[in-house]
């Protein structure tokens, strides 16, 4: 069972991320690139440069979890483009 605290915030990385990164790499981006503590219980969303893949990093108190999604059609919004209303 995945339990997420109701007070958890979602942080979106404002730059594209290499989806070959795993637990250590994504937590380093959260810490160094976003200035956030990846052990705080918040969720961190990362989107690939091609906008076809996304990952969420989450610390559940015992270890990191990564939730991944790959789109067959369409693309995720690109937070680094500035206007989230245009995919």
24 Cβ neighbours under 8 A, 6+ residues apart:
none
For the sheet containing 10-12, what is the strand order? 10-12, 43-47, 53-59, 64-70
Band of pLDDT at residue 1, cut at 50, 70 and 90: low
Task: Tokens for 27, please give them.
Answer: 């937590």
Task: Report the C-alpha gap between 42 and 18 in whole angstroms.
Answer: 21
Domains, the chain, ordered by start:
10-72 (3.30.505)
Summarised one tens digit per residue, pLDDT across range 11-66 is 999 999 999 999 999 999 999 999 999 999 999 999 999 999 999 999 988 999 99
* pLDDT confidence tier of residue 5, bands split at 50, 70 and 90: low
The pTM assigned to this predicted structure is: 0.85
């Amino acid at each position: 069972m995945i339990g997420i605290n109701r007070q958890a915030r979602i942080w979106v990385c404002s730059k594209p991320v290499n989806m070959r990164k795993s637990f250590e790499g994504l937590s380093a981006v959260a810490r160094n690139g976003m200035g956030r503590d990846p052990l705080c219980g918040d969720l961190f969303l990362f989107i690939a440069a091609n906008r076809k893949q996304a990952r969420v990093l989450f610390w559940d108190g015992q270890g990191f979890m990564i939730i991944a999604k790959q789109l067959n059609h369409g693309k995720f919004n690109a937070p680094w483009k500035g206007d989230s209303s245009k995919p």
